[in-house]
């Protein structure tokens, strides 16, 4: 029997497999991989325990939506009104108030001082900063000095996994930023304030005191586990986790009846409340594995993911490499089947089996096994094996013809 390593198609398969290992690690085909994750995540939200895959009660999104802006009559939202919203929510018992608005320049209408006074009275406001990268880390743009003095902040950068499409599926933690004051992502800062702990990063594991630990992938990423939306809604803010800012903006806390105050407390008390734009005109919307999602909702989903112990985690390298090797070996072995119909059926069966296994791991175990790299390599393996089989068949036919001529 011929040594398999002497077959050129086997050698090419080994070369492709070796090349795919760094390609997978550095996510060369992230655009294709994102599509497989999107398909798997849709199944994850509808197959196992769908009713349990909703956002936690600890999180509320107060939306500055179209109805509010139509009533408000101007854009953007004034800082003093954001301060009023934050103070109102704090009065209602919100444990953390996250304002998804970058306020890095002084107000042209002298609003910073009164807004800062409202933030200081609230004593639980978290603002957005922005981490600057120009090839390398260039610093953090914080809120204005007066606002920063009475609040905390976290960078709200949204980083797509692909350079082609702004698909947002993960939260990236830049370790070199964590040494800065408030040098954590907004979602991490919100949870640190909520749990009253200091986050720390050690050996690619994120710790929140003794409450929770979350392993990161090779890029320092956490996969966002987007929850199932309420029936009949398109966005998180339209469901039970959403609340229109229009309903509380003009409330007079001094004259608010006690029963209404208690009702609002039952909604917001001891919760993380995120305030942000959910209006098309603001263009604060991004592609994700579950479709387009507003920026403030991505932050809410990230917080929800970490509070649920980050159930989506990358498969280990042993599983990645072994599954790819087995899959490619099976595809290569199909070339030994003489009948074309059976050979094609075996190839399709191998692909279906691999996809079902990878999909089941994601849906039921939260294990993110890369699919695109094995699938793309598999196509090349099938092509190599088919070309070799064709060449062997042609050679046999030539020999057979030559033998027939000699015998005659």
Residue 205 has pLDDT above 90, yes or no: yes
Domain boundaries, the chain: 4-46+313-407, 57-307
pLDDT of amino acid 170: 92
**Residue labelled with tokens 């996969």:** 223
pLDDT beyond 90 at 147: yes
Give the model's pLDDT for residue 1: 47
Of the listed ranges 22-26, 147-151, 332-336, 362-366, the least confidently predicted one is 22-26
Taking the model in full, what pTM does it have? Answer: 0.89
Can you give the three-state secondary structure of the chain, one letter per residue? CCCHHHCHHHHHHHHHHHHHHHHHHCCCCHHHHHHHHHHHHHHHHHCCCHHHCCCCCCEEEEEECHHHHHHHCCCCCCHHHHHHHHHHHHHCCCCEEEEEEECCCCCCCCCHHHHHHHHHHHCCEEEEEEEEEECEEEEEECCCHHHHCCCEEEECCCCCCCCCCCECCEEECCHHHCCCCCCCEHHHHHHHHHHCCCEEEECCEEEECCCEEEECCCCCEEECCCCCCCCCCCCHHHCCCEEEHHHCCCCCCCCCCHHHHHHHHHHHCCCEEEEEECCHHHCCEEEECCEEEEHHHHHHHHHHHHHCCCCCEECCHHHHHHHHHHHHHHHHHHHHCCCHHHHHHHHHHHHHHHHHHHHHHHHHHCEECCCHHHHHHHHHHHHHHHHHHHHHHHHHHHHHHHHHHHHC
User: Is the pLDDT at 5 greater than 70, yes or no?
Assistant: no
Q: What pLDDT does 387 receive?
A: 80
Length, in residues, of the chain = 408
How confident is residue 161, by pLDDT bands cut at 50, 70 and 90?
confident
pLDDT band at 163 (very low <50, low <70, confident <90, very high): low
Indicate the average pLDDT of the chain. 89
How confident is the model over 38-90, as pLDDT tens digits? 999 989 988 767 667 889 999 999 999 999 999 998 888 999 999 999 999 99
Q: Note the pLDDT of residue 4.
A: 60
For residue 34, is pLDDT > 60? Answer: yes
Q: Predicted confidence band at 3 (pLDDT cuts at 50, 70, 90)?
A: low
- Written as six digits, the tokens of 363 are 């849906």
Cα separation, 262 vs 93, whole angstroms:
10
Both tokens assigned to 222: 């956490």
Instruction: Identify the weakest region by mean pLDDT among 8-12, 327-331, 386-390.
Output: 8-12
Lowest mean pLDDT: which of 15-19, 191-195, 198-202, 268-272? 15-19
Task: Average the pLDDT over 345-364 and give the result.
Answer: 94
| Confidence check: pLDDT of 243 > 60 | yes
Longest pairwise C-alpha distance within the chain: 113
User: 321 pLDDT band (50/70/90 cuts)?
Assistant: confident
pLDDT at 136 over 80: no
For residue 408, what pLDDT band results from cuts at 50, 70 and 90? low
């Amino acid at each position: 029997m011929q040594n398999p390593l002497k077959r050129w198609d086997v050698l090419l398969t080994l070369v492709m497999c070796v090349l795919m290992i760094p390609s997978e690690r550095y996510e060369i085909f992230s655009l294709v991989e994102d599509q497989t994750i999107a398909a798997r995540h849709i199944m994850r939200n509808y197959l196992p325990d769908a009713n349990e895959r909703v956002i936690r009660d600890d999180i509320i999104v107060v939306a500055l939506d179209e109805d509010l802006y139509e009533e408000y009559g101007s854009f953007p939202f004034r800082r003093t009104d954001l301060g009023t919203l934050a103070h109102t929510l704090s009065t209602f018992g919100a444990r953390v108030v996250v304002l998804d608005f970058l306020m890095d320049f002084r107000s042209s209408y002298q609003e910073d001082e009164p807004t800062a006074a409202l933030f200081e009275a609230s004593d639980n406001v978290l603002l957005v900063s922005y981490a600057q990268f120009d090839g390398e880390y260039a610093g953090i743009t914080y809120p204005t000095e007066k606002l920063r003095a009475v609040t905390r902040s976290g960078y709200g950068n949204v980083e797509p996994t692909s350079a082609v499409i702004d698909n947002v599926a993960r939260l990236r933690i830049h370790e070199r930023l964590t040494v800065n004051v408030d040098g954590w992502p907004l979602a991490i800062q919100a949870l640190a304030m909520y749990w009253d702990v200091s986050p720390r990063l050690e050996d690619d594991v994120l710790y929140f005191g003794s409450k929770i630990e979350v392993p990161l992938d090779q890029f320092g990423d956490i996969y966002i586990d987007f929850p199932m939306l309420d029936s009949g809604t398109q966005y998180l803010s339209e469901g039970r986790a959403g609340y229109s800012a229009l309903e509380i903006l003009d409330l007079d806390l001094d004259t608010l009846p006690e029963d209404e105050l208690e009702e609002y407390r039952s909604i917001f008390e001891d919760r993380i409340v995120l305030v942000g734009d959910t209006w098309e005109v603001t263009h604060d919307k991004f592609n994700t594995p579950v479709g387009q999602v507003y920026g403030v909702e991505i932050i809410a989903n990230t917080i929800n993911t970490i509070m649920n112990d980050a159930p989506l985690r990358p498969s280990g390298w042993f599983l990645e490499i072994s599954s790819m090797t087995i899959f490619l070996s099976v595809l290569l072995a199909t070339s030994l089947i003489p009948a074309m119909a059976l050979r094609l059926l075996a190839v399709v069966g191998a692909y279906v089996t691999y996809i079902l296994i990878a999909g089941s791991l994601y849906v039921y175990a939260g294990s993110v096994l890369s699919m695109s790299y094995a699938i793309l390599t598999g196509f090349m393996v099938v092509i190599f094996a088919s070309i070799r089989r064709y060449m062997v068949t042609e050679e046999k036919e030539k020999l057979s013809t030559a033998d027939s001529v000699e015998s005659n």
